[in-house]
Amino acid sequence: MKKRELKISFEEYSNLEDLNTEDRSLLDQAIESVNKAYAPYSQYYVGAALKLKSGEVVTGNNQENVAYPSGLCAERVAIFYASSQFPKMEVETIAITAKTDQFEMDDVVAPCGACRQVLSEYEIKQKKPIRVMLHADGGKVLIFDSIKSILPLMFHAEELKK
Ligand code: THU
């Protein structure tokens, strides 16, 4: 038996003012998108903004349903919409943020497992990493250089061929 370690490195900004103009603008669009979320059951509002290589920005937010599992997270709303509109898209960065007035947020919002899996599909498809920017209302910003960093040991198509 061998003990192994997986290391993930990421950038941490204590303030969104410290981001470069392009990242700041993308995050601002995610923050704006939060206000259009439909989350009457959790009152937890999430926004995602995708920057495509073409320069296009696509946003999405969480859409809940009274039959709870029928709702969808902001990240999947955004990326499914983006792919449906721009099937040849290349995603450079996804910015994700959240807001609630139910409690004080002291950490970033981290995408759920299903969203990480869905995002990984597009990263593999485009053969280029998707940067991930995580934020929450009033807090710090974390930047990861790929979906792989937040989904180590991911299931991928090669597994189906073995
Ligand atoms: N949610 C997202 O939209 N993205 C995440 O990364 C985490 C969770 C949504 C799903 C649900 O509408 C609400 O947040 C509470 O879980």
How deeply is 67 buried, as exposed, middle or buried, from its count of CB atoms within 10 A (0-12, 13-18, 19+)? exposed
pLDDT at position 72, please?
98
> Average pLDDT in the 42-57 region?
97
Is 18 domain-assigned? yes
pLDDT at position 151, please?
96
Phi, psi at 109, each rounded to 5°: -90, 130
Atom of ligand 1 nearest to the CA of 74: 3
Please indicate whether residue 158 is annotated as part of the active site: no
The residue with tokens 């349903």 is 65
pLDDT at position 162, please?
63
Instruction: Please give the DSSP secondary-structure letter assigned to residue 101.
Output: S
CATH assignment at residue 36: 3.40.140.10
Q: Is 112 in the pocket of ligand 1 (CB under 6 A)?
A: yes
Is 162 domain-assigned? no
Q: Is 47 in the pocket of ligand 1 (CB under 6 A)?
A: no
- pLDDT interval class at 139 (50, 70, 90): confident
DSSP 62-82: -B--SSGGG-B-HHHHHHHHH
pLDDT at position 149, please?
96
Q: Is 92 in the pocket of ligand 1 (CB under 6 A)?
A: no
Rounded percentage of the chain residues whose pLDDT exceeds 90: 87
Is 5 domain-assigned? no
Closest-CA residue, ligand 1 atom 4, reads 73
> Average pLDDT in the 62-83 region?
98
Residue 71 scores a pLDDT above 80? yes
Q: What is the pLDDT of residues 92-111, one digit of tens each?
A: 999 999 999 998 888 899 99
pLDDT at position 36, please?
98
> Average pLDDT in the 75-98 region?
98
Is 23 domain-assigned? yes
Residue 77 scores a pLDDT above 70? yes
> Average pLDDT in the 28-34 region?
97
Is 4 domain-assigned? no
Is 76 domain-assigned? yes
- pLDDT interval class at 158 (50, 70, 90): confident
Nearest C-alpha neighbor of 94 from the set 72, 110, 105, 70: 110
Is 160 domain-assigned? no
Closest-CA residue, ligand 1 atom 14, reads 44
Domain containing 114 equals 11-149
Q: What is the tally of structural domains in the chain?
A: 1
